[in-house]
Amino acid sequence: MADSPLITVVTPSFNAAATIEETLRSVREQDYAHVEHVVVDGGSTDGTVEILERAEGVRFVSEPDRGLSHAMNKGVVMARGAIIGWLNADDVYLPGALSAVAAAFMARPEAEWATGRCLIIDGDGREIRRGATAYKNFFLRRYSRSLYLTQNFISAPATFARREAYLRHPFREDYAMSMDYDVFLQLAQAGDPIVLDRDLACFRMMEGTLSMSSFERQFAEHAEQARAHGAGHPISVAVNQAMSRLIVLVYHGLRAMRSVRARARR
C-alpha cells in the first residue's frame, strides 16, 4: 500500500523465554512490510536475552525497570512508527492483523486508536474461555463510551494507537494490572476507536500470569479508573462498581469449583 504507516509493535518482557519466540514469530510472519518490533526487557535471566540477540528484525533493550507501565512508556519513546501496538511477550498476533490495522488507519486518518477482537489461549496455544470472548465481543460490536465505562471489554493485544496519543497519555506506574483501561478511557474521551470486525490477536492466560493471580486488584483498578474518567456518566460508573464486585465473586466461585474437582480426582 502506498504511504502505508510504519507500525511499531512494543513488547515488554521479563523472563519470557518459554513464550517470546512465538510472540516474535507472530510479528515477523505478518504480511505487512512497514513494521518494527521493539522489545523492552526488564533484565531477564532465563535466556530471554539470548533469544532476542538471535532474533531477526528486533530492536531491544534489556535493563531493570519499574514494571509493565514503565516498560511500555520506554517502548513508546523508542518507537519510530506512527502507530503503536502493544503485544506482551506471551501473546501473539494472528495472520493479517497488521495489514488490517494499517488499512483502517489509512481509511480513517482522524482516528487516534483502533481495536478488534482477541482470542484467549492457554499455555499450549489452544483457545479457551470462548464464553468470555463471546461476552466481550458482544459489547465490542456495540461500542460507545458510556458502555465502555461499565466494564473493560477492549483487549490490549488487539488495540493500536497513534504514538502521539500514547505520548500524551502515558501509562501510570501506580497501576499494576489495568494500566491499559486507564489509558484507553482517556483515548475514549477524545474520540471513539475504529472497531475492526475481525480477530487480531491472542491473549495467553495460564496459571502464574498476572491476569490469573491478581484479578481482585485488576477489578479494583477498573472501578477506580471508571470513577476517575466517568464524569457525566454516573450510571455507567455505578454499573462498573457493581460489575467489578460481581466478576470477582464469579472468579472466586470458579476457583472454588476447580479446587473441589481437583480434590475429587485424587
Q: Which long-range contacts (CB under 8 A, 24 or more apart) does 130-134 make?
A: none
* Distance separating alpha carbons of residues 119 and 132, to the nearest angstrom: 9
- Residue 22: pLDDT band by 50, 70, 90 thresholds? very high
- Residue 255: pLDDT band by 50, 70, 90 thresholds? confident
- Residue 206: pLDDT band by 50, 70, 90 thresholds? confident
Q: What is the predicted pLDDT for the residue at 236?
A: 98
* Span 11-32, average pLDDT: 98
- Residue 66: pLDDT band by 50, 70, 90 thresholds? very high
Q: What is the predicted pLDDT for the residue at 207?
A: 59
Closest C-alpha among 44, 248, 70, 243 to residue 148 = 243
Closest C-alpha among 23, 24, 16 to residue 41 = 16
Q: Domains of the chain, with CATH numbers?
A: 7-206 (3.90.550.10)
Look up the pTM and report it: 0.92
The label of the residue with cell 493479517 reads: 96
* Span 144-160, average pLDDT: 98
Contact 240, 218 (CB under 8 A): no
- Residue 53 grid coordinates: 540477540
Q: What percent of the chain has pLDDT over 90?
A: 85
- Residue 52: pLDDT band by 50, 70, 90 thresholds? very high
* Span 73-91, average pLDDT: 98
The string of DSSP letters for 35-96 reads: EEEEEEE----SSHHHHHHH-TTEEEEE---S-HHHHHHHHHHH--SSEEEE--TT-EEPTT
- Residue 28 grid coordinates: 515477523
Q: What is the predicted pLDDT for the residue at 183?
A: 98
H/E element holding 254? Answer: helix 234-265
Sheet of 7-13: strand order equals 58-62, 35-41, 7-13, 83-86, 159-162, 113-121, 194-204, 92-93
**pLDDT above 70: residue 209:** no
What pLDDT, in 10s, does the model give residues 224-243?
999 999 999 999 999 999 98
Q: What percent of the chain has pLDDT over 70?
A: 97
**What is the residue-averaged pLDDT of the chain?**
94
